[in-house]
Structure 1
Amino acid sequence: MDCVVYIDELIAESYIPFCDDFGPMNLGTVHEFSEILDEKIKDTELNSIAVHVSCDPRSCTNAVFLLGAYMIMHLHMTPDDAEQAFAPLSHRILSFRDVSPGKQNFSLYVRDCWAGLWRAKRLSWVDFGADGFDRHEYAELDSPMNADLHEVVPGKFIAMRGPKDFADGARWEDAFQAAGGFSHRDFSPAHYAEILQQFDVRAVVRLNTREYDAEGFRAAGIAVADLYFDDCSVPPVEVVAEFLALAEGLPGALAVHCKAGLGRTGTLIALYMM
């Protein structure tokens, strides 16, 4: 074997679980892994490359996902091609689980993730070309210490953590657990407004209980629409209809948030995408 690429550390450092979830890796990790592998493949002195990962099924599943993602993004293969390539390992591949605690009601399979990536590539939502994906900008905005924000659909949708107002007018504030340990960082509308203006965001959709004065965004020329519905619930038909109408009728991009910027936010954006 000419070269062995060890990726256990990459996987361990790239995914921070909420509960018993373990993946999949985000676009930043997919891009980083792709660059590592690409560099080895372009080395003309290497005849063969092995990707090494620990033998536990969760690590194996993440490794298979990353390799299949590389095949789709760089080798222009389809999800079916990738699935066929890893058929001999099918007994070792797990389904990804929801971040919620307790019993799981559905499974997210590796092929589902590949299919989403393949579709995003075809729609030019994800571009790993020389002038496409900026991994460093992605990592900076992804960091919960900087913004906890992602551009989901270029030029159309931003998903982010719910902003908060602070008594002293601060732009951010750290939150701590009851036991005293660090929990997360919250950001003010003013902090987010500067970032959102860079993405030509014209309005913010607030899905959770109000924790800030909308004037913080309006002062920056960004409107705020309230479409509240309960966390961990199915969005009411009228909320979905109003959200779709707003997304279709608004020029520029739309930023969406609930409390954490995950469940309710992702649900409505996904409904529009479908």
Structure 2
Amino acid sequence: MATKLSMLIEFIPNYVYYTQLAVDPEPREGLIYFCIDKKLQYNNFYLDFGPLSLGCTFQFCNVMNKMLASAVQTKRKIYFYSSPDPKLRANAVCLLGCWGVLFQGMAPEVAFTPFASMAFPSFHDASPVECKYRLDIIDCLKGVAKAVQSGYVHPPTFDVHDYHHYEQVENGDLTWISPKFLAFAGPHDKYSVSPEGYVALTPEHYIPYFKKKHVTLVVRLNEKMYDERRFTRAGIAHLNLYYPDGTNPPEYILKQFIDACEATSGAVAVHCKAGLGRTGTCIGAYMMKHHFFTAKEAIGWLRLCRPGSVIGPQQQYMDVIQPKMWQAGGKHDNRGILEKALPGVIASMFTLRAPEATPPPSPRSPGHTKPPLPKTSAVSSQKDKAGTQGDNLVRLKQTYQHHYVR
């Protein structure tokens, strides 16, 4: 019996169509049916369900490129389908739209127009609490387009194998957001493997890769869990910019972060506990200033690169600072002038030698002139030593990676 289609949306005239099916269809002459629901899956932390990672996105794109070439040659049509489940539909359509932007030269609006009449759930952040912040498919597509335009990714040369290798916790849990920024989970003082198989890496595990990739600065946003001299002795500058897990960066910390990154000629590796919330927020601010991403475009791209990035109130925070970042970016046209103005500031911030390796004084300590951190800092400080949001995210990531063979 022929499969009955409740809907059929044309994506590329005469060749690529999208539909939703509750059951797998029977083969039909002249058609190529294709579904990724069981092949490319999103591994959620909490209530998040997508978008699928950049690695999965490029896996899909590579298959679609081959299928389209075959369909053109054999005069067949591609029916890409998903389950009617709203979340699976959203991920499937987002993948198809990303392929259109990355490999078919489509503008984000053009890629999404065929699906404009359909209802999709907004993508949720990696938290267990219902979130009202809306991040939609079109935001992710615009983020992809802006990333390509800004030179963050070159579709023909993207290395899917490298992406999937280094996203594994035991291989570093690191992700390139752009040629300038590498996000990773925070290293520990000692290497360990728990009875459950959870891995904790040290600075020495990262140094060879960082040197190979010309990482010249490491920024730590969480509490100290290793001696920064282990990086600086290897010739990699280190900057401590702690603020509490799950919160937004105080203005002076965000300024120091951006100033340091602007004055660094090489790549910058940024981490907090899990390399998701604080890390994504600070990198996102830089993206808005330098390449004029909207907050939603930045969050969309960050979550494609590193699922789970930017959590809870950090989403609204990025919306709030977007105009300020754009204004600052408009005034930041001459990198040479900036680099001449900042060396003194940057030199005072980097922990480059042993005498400077002691932790900076607490923001609440006498004689400290920086503005105090939010009042929750004392509580957050205690949580950082126990089970914080970042700890839980790292644990969850390792748990699903142990049960998922790509």
* TM-score by shorter chain over 0.5: yes
Q: Secondary structure at the match of 1:153?
A: coil
Pick from 179, 189, 192: which aligns with 2:203?
Answer: 189
Query: Given residue 141 of structure 2, which amino acid in structure 1 is its aligned partner?
Result: W
Per-residue deviation, residues 38-64 of structure 1 (Å, max 9, x unmatched) = 111101114200112222111111000
* Correspondence 1:110 to 2:129: no
Report the equivalent of 1:270. 284
Alpha-carbon distance between aligned partners in 1 of 2:263 and 2:194, rounded to the nearest angstrom? 37
Higher strand share: 1
Report the equivalent of 2:172. 147
Report the equivalent of 1:70. 99
Report the equivalent of 2:226. 212
Alpha-carbon distance between aligned partners in 2 of 1:127 and 1:203, rounded to the nearest angstrom? 24
Query: Given residue 95 of structure 2, which amino acid in structure 1 is its aligned partner?
Result: L
Per-residue deviation, residues 118-172 of structure 1 (Å, max 9, x unmatched) = 100111211111xx21111111111122111011111x11110000011xxxxx4
Query: Given residue 208 of structure 1, which amino acid in structure 2 is its aligned partner?
Result: N
Alpha-carbon distance between aligned partners in 2 of 1:102 and 1:135, rounded to the nearest angstrom? 32
Report the equivalent of 1:159. 183
* Correspondence 1:202 to 2:216: yes
Alpha-carbon distance between aligned partners in 2 of 1:104 and 1:239, rounded to the nearest angstrom? 26
Report the equivalent of 2:36. 7
Contact 1:5–1:52 (8 Å) recurs in 2: yes
Q: Secondary structure at the match of 2:33?
A: strand
Per-residue deviation, residues 16-35 of structure 1 (Å, max 9, x unmatched) = 11012111111111111011
Query: Given residue 133 of structure 1, which amino acid in structure 2 is its aligned partner?
Result: F
Higher helix share: 2
Deviation at 1:76, TM superposition (A): 0.7
CA separation of 1:201 and 1:142: change in aligned 2, threshold 3 A: same
Report the equivalent of 2:65. 38
| Higher RCO structure (Cα 8 Å, ≥6 apart) | 2
Deviation at 1:173, TM superposition (A): 2.3
Pick from 65, 71, 78: which aligns with 1:49?
Answer: 78
Q: Secondary structure at the match of 1:42?
A: helix
Give the count of matched residue pairs: 257
* Correspondence 1:173 to 2:192: yes
Alpha-carbon distance between aligned partners in 2 of 1:75 and 1:67, rounded to the nearest angstrom? 10
Report the equivalent of 2:127. 100
Report the equivalent of 1:60. 89
Q: Secondary structure at the match of 2:146?
A: helix
Alpha-carbon distance between aligned partners in 1 of 2:276 and 2:193, rounded to the nearest angstrom? 19
Q: Secondary structure at the match of 1:114?
A: helix
Query: Given residue 58 of structure 1, which amino acid in structure 2 is its aligned partner?
Result: K
Alpha-carbon distance between aligned partners in 2 of 1:186 and 1:160, rounded to the nearest angstrom? 12
Alpha-carbon distance between aligned partners in 2 of 1:138 and 1:103, rounded to the nearest angstrom? 30
Q: Secondary structure at the match of 1:16?
A: coil
Alpha-carbon distance between aligned partners in 2 of 1:157 and 1:201, rounded to the nearest angstrom? 9
Alpha-carbon distance between aligned partners in 1 of 2:233 and 2:136, rounded to the nearest angstrom? 44
Larger radius of gyration: 2
Q: Secondary structure at the match of 2:155?
A: coil
Alpha-carbon distance between aligned partners in 1 of 2:286 and 2:54, rounded to the nearest angstrom? 21
Contact 1:244–1:272 (8 Å) recurs in 2: yes
Report the equivalent of 2:259. 245
Query: Within 5 A, what are the aligned runs for 1:223-238?
Result: 223-238=237-252
Alpha-carbon distance between aligned partners in 2 of 1:204 and 1:9, rounded to the nearest angstrom? 38
Query: Given residue 50 of structure 2, which amino acid in structure 1 is its aligned partner?
Result: G
Q: Secondary structure at the match of 2:171?
A: coil
Deviation at 1:175, TM superposition (A): 4.2
Contact 1:73–1:128 (8 Å) recurs in 2: yes
Flag structure 2 segments of 5+ consecutive residues without an equivalent. 1-29, 289-406
Query: Given residue 256 of structure 1, which amino acid in structure 2 is its aligned partner?
Result: V
Alpha-carbon distance between aligned partners in 1 of 2:76 and 2:235, rounded to the nearest angstrom? 57
Alpha-carbon distance between aligned partners in 2 of 1:6 and 1:242, rounded to the nearest angstrom? 46
Contact 1:164–1:188 (8 Å) recurs in 2: yes
Q: Secondary structure at the match of 1:8?
A: coil
Query: Given residue 254 of structure 1, which amino acid in structure 2 is its aligned partner?
Result: V
Alpha-carbon distance between aligned partners in 2 of 1:175 and 1:114, rounded to the nearest angstrom? 39
Runs of 4+ in structure 1 over 3 Å off:
none
* Correspondence 1:16 to 2:43: yes
Report the equivalent of 2:149. 122
Quote the RMSD (CA, aligned, Å): 1.3
Q: Secondary structure at the match of 1:51?
A: strand
